[in-house]
Amino acid sequence: MHILIFHNAVIPALEYGGTERVVWWLGKELTQMGHRVSFLVAKGSECPFAEVLFYNPELSLSLQIPDYIDVVHLSIPPPEDFPKPYVYTVHGNPRADEVLDQNAVFVSKNHAERHNSTAYVLNGIDFEDYPKPSFSHQRGHTHFLANASWRVKNVKGAIHIAKKANEKLAVMGGHRLNFKMGFRFTPDRHVRFYGMVGGRVKFDLLHRSKALLFPVLWHEPFGLAIVESLYMGCSILGTPYGSLPEIVTPEVGFLSISENELAEKLKNIAQFDPKICHEYARDTFTSRQMALGYLQYFEMVLSGKKINSVAPKALFDYPKFLPYEVN
Average pLDDT over residues 168-179: 79
Q: Residue 162 — pLDDT band, cuts 50, 70, 90?
A: very high
pLDDT number for residue 18: 86
Other beta carbons within 10 Å of 241? 22
Mean pLDDT, residues 84-105: 96
- State the pTM of this model: 0.94
Cα 106 from Cα 161, distance rounded (Å): 31
38-70 pLDDT, tens digit per residue, is 999 999 999 999 999 999 999 999 999 999 999
Confidence of residue 105 (pLDDT cuts 50, 70, 90): very high
% residues pLDDT > 70 (the chain):
96
Domains by residue range for the chain, with CATH: 2-125+288-302 (3.40.50.2000), 127-283 (3.40.50.2000)
The whole-number average pLDDT for the span 216-224 is 97
pLDDT of residue 183: 46
DSSP codes, 114-161: TTT---B----B-GGGSPPPPSSS---EEEEES-TTSGGG-HHHHHHH
Q: List Cβ neighbours of 246 (8 Å cut-off, separation of 6 or more).
A: 108, 109, 110
How far is residue 232 from each of residues 39, 120, 135, 210, 238, measured CA to CA in Å?
Answer: 29, 25, 9, 10, 17
What's 23's DSSP letter? Answer: H
Give residue 264's pLDDT. 98
Residue 181 has pLDDT above 80, yes or no: no
Q: Output the pLDDT for position 295.
A: 98
pLDDT in tens, 279-290: 999 999 999 999
pLDDT, averaged across the chain: 94
Looking at the DSSP bridge assignments, the partners of residue 277 are none
Q: Report whether 49 contacts 269 (CB < 8 A).
A: no
